[in-house]
Structure 1
């Protein structure tokens, strides 16, 4: 019998969670089962997931931003199928590939004019690793500055720039010379750069953990300070890039010109991992400055034909379907619609973000009964209230969301950029009802809250 993925999928469909418990991360299975997210999805199209009963779910996580053009887009599928059948030379290591050249050219048409070179790799964290190495080599400096609560990946170099302690704990010692400053704090940044010994300042234009948007003058001043002190300005657009914030690059909101842009996630079309760094010619020409240095940094699978084809097809879809414009329009509508609810709900603080990168933040209420209920959850585990939003959204309204980070009362939306008016209404109405339910104390939703608090307290004692 011939080998068939379809047969494997159908024969073993019900073993998914068991296999992960036996051979992979069983704690992830425990999490999913505890909060009721253990669904058996059979297919996915665009912004929708479908379970074995053909129930439709609206995916507002998009694989942490990977599926910006939606899942299983036919244009990307067709491009990959065609690439597989052409018998192209691939990864000929004593050669250069045509598709990587074409993708580099296409990407650089979207970046600021000062960027003219591309380096390809396999993921966002690899793009950050490259930026660290290139910055150190070009400047002959060791130090790297990053922001508190920032997220740049989980390999050792990028982990050294991770502003969340939970990711760093137990993995040290990390890369020396890495120093954090508060996000959106120009005084702290200038103090960190003033000794002229910092190779690079690496920053997310909009922070992913919490969806923190900077003040209007922050990034322009970052650019000025980096030039003043000879530090390279690196924009980590792994999550914010390719239309996520309603501009092709998030830096476009502020008109700045970094020395490097790190990218990945959406560039893959959701199929083949691909990462990249756009940079100035000075950086590229300094790192690869002699023929014997042509291979001083690279990656075996980078520039592979499937990844490059996926990237080219993804950019074409974004252009043809005007997804950047749709991200700006529908995202703003969602933010404004949820903010319009704030006067009705004590728990709701605000919605914020740019484009389809949205945070919905909750706060301690003023009413005594609500305040007591809030305090009960916070005492058990800071940020637990958000689970009383995300779990009902999933179970009752079939909307997949997440908490924006550890210990914060923020729900994060990172949907595909092709949301429709129907999706917008689905989101706004579901949030309205889910938030309204939390204001009924006592009520059935607070039975869930007590169970969550009980689980959290038990985990603290372990």
Structure 2
């Protein structure tokens, strides 16, 4: 069908009933199968702030926020206004043989938050920022090695994938980038052994690991900074998920008073509409990469400084400030963690609640009572980490809350809501989790019937 004046909203309405069939035919059929299996194929039609609305206009609370992209909520009016103003202004976008005014403004504003750094390199995504960090570190130090933490996730392009030890992502794509060495998270002795060769260009880390919401000890990041200085290694903070106010500070490293040599930001910087990433670094590093005129474009990305992306970043920073969302993340996060932590003594399957700001992990583990232990073991034998699906699926179906397990084989559910959530939303979360977790302790029961279905699916998959 052809659309007069190409009304995309009209196209969305006309074709939305075919979304699954189009994806099965032309895109990722396995994702469609997953969504149908767990009952998530509800056909979302609209997003506003922290809420999603399905084909029947039922409201859901979004605790996934597009993997942290929608920190200021979906379709924020300030962001929409900024993007429309760009489209209405006939700006000279991406001339390439010119410099971007809006990129200058966004760089200036980002560096105001991180005053110990001097330069910004823009990219299209977090993974592109990681790739740039690898190149900048090697180029600036003349060293080949990159050290990263076990259980890290830095992206899925080849360089970024080389900095994860998860076989679920690596399998089938090796060999990856040489010279990349993992150390255990929170292990300063292992880090010193790795850096002592003086062949390591960079130590790259997530201040709080996204896969599992793993927290650093109070000593780890300050100790790592001291070791990096001692051995001449650059310290690179991957704040792609933790940055932009997520943890109640603009950057998560601020909780530990650490000043890295590079900081990587993406996801929330986009406002959720136009992908953008930013690498912030010291002038001394930047000048070693772009060190003369014939190397002015030695690294870059065609669309990286496009006006829509820059406007999205500027508008997002404006909203964070005007609505005091960083302070809100600290307050709401503390309240929500306390409410969830109070549940732990009452439920033997609940082990721990951890995080900072509105990045929260709820960990489950093996029970002690015999009936629960037997059911738990059946699930674990079929597929490690399957129990968490017994929590996330009824949260979605029965309580209209969208959330996720924090990684393959993980026993932790991660909450990553928009920073705009209200006290009423927090009560919604608390009540829903309490109800679902209570149900998970009843054997037999509806939740364990779901478990049998998931086990059957896992067995068929492995057959």
SS at 2:12 equivalent: helix
Q: Counterpart of 1:296?
A: 298
- Residue 2 of structure 1 and its aligned partner are, at CA, apart by 2.1
Query: 2: distance between equivalents of 1:243 and 1:405?
Result: 22
Q: Counterpart of 2:416?
A: 414
Of 401, 404, 412, the match for 1:402: 404
Q: Counterpart of 2:134?
A: 132
Q: Counterpart of 1:346?
A: 348
Q: Counterpart of 2:36?
A: 33
Q: Kindly report which structure 2 residues correspond to 1:365-444, keeping only aligned pairs within 5 A, or say none.
A: 365-444=367-446
SS at 2:87 equivalent: helix
SS at 1:109 equivalent: helix
What CA deviation, in whole Å up to 9, does each residue of 1:309-354 have, x standing for no partner?
Answer: 0000000000000100111111111111111011111101111101
- Residue 90 of structure 1 and its aligned partner are, at CA, apart by 0.6
Query: 2: distance between equivalents of 1:438 and 1:263?
Result: 38
1:61 aligned onto 2:64: yes
1:83 aligned onto 2:78: no
Query: 1: distance between equivalents of 2:300 and 2:458?
Result: 44
SS at 1:434 equivalent: helix
Q: Counterpart of 1:13?
A: 16
- Residue 38 of structure 1 and its aligned partner are, at CA, apart by 0.5
Q: Kindly report which structure 2 residues correspond to 1:115-264, keeping only aligned pairs within 5 A, or say none.
A: 115-264=117-266
- Residue 122 of structure 1 and its aligned partner are, at CA, apart by 0.3
What CA deviation, in whole Å up to 9, does each residue of 1:27-67 have, x standing for no partner?
Answer: 00000000000011111000000012110000000000000
Q: Counterpart of 2:460?
A: 458
Q: Counterpart of 2:100?
A: 97
Query: 2: distance between equivalents of 1:232 and 1:349?
Result: 36
- Residue 77 of structure 1 and its aligned partner are, at CA, apart by 0.1
SS at 2:421 equivalent: coil
SS at 2:52 equivalent: strand
- Residue 163 of structure 1 and its aligned partner are, at CA, apart by 2.6
Structure 2 spans left out of the alignment, 5+ residues: none
Query: 2: distance between equivalents of 1:345 and 1:23?
Result: 45
- Residue 408 of structure 1 and its aligned partner are, at CA, apart by 1.5
- Residue 109 of structure 1 and its aligned partner are, at CA, apart by 0.5
What CA deviation, in whole Å up to 9, does each residue of 1:383-412 have, x standing for no partner?
Answer: 010000000000000000000111111111
Query: 1: distance between equivalents of 2:214 and 2:241?
Result: 13
1:24 aligned onto 2:27: yes
Structure 1 spans left out of the alignment, 5+ residues: none
Q: Counterpart of 2:52?
A: 49
What CA deviation, in whole Å up to 9, does each residue of 1:166-215 have, x standing for no partner?
Answer: 11111011111011111111011000001100000000000000000100
Query: 1: distance between equivalents of 2:456 and 2:295?
Result: 58
Q: Write out the 4+ residue segments of structure 1 that deviate beyond 4 Å after TM superposition.
A: none
Of 355, 358, 363, the match for 2:357: 355
SS at 1:41 equivalent: coil
Of 61, 69, 73, the match for 1:70: 73
- Residue 70 of structure 1 and its aligned partner are, at CA, apart by 0.2
Query: 1: distance between equivalents of 2:271 and 2:447?
Result: 38
- Residue 217 of structure 1 and its aligned partner are, at CA, apart by 1.1
Query: 2: distance between equivalents of 1:24 and 1:70?
Result: 27
- Residue 443 of structure 1 and its aligned partner are, at CA, apart by 1.0
- Residue 145 of structure 1 and its aligned partner are, at CA, apart by 0.5
- TM-score normalised to structure 2 length: 0.99
- What is the RMSD computed on CA atoms of the aligned residues? 0.7
Query: 2: distance between equivalents of 1:251 and 1:7?
Result: 45
SS at 1:2 equivalent: helix
SS at 2:5 equivalent: coil
Query: 2: distance between equivalents of 1:92 and 1:444?
Result: 60
- TM-score normalised to structure 1 length: 0.99
1:281 aligned onto 2:283: yes
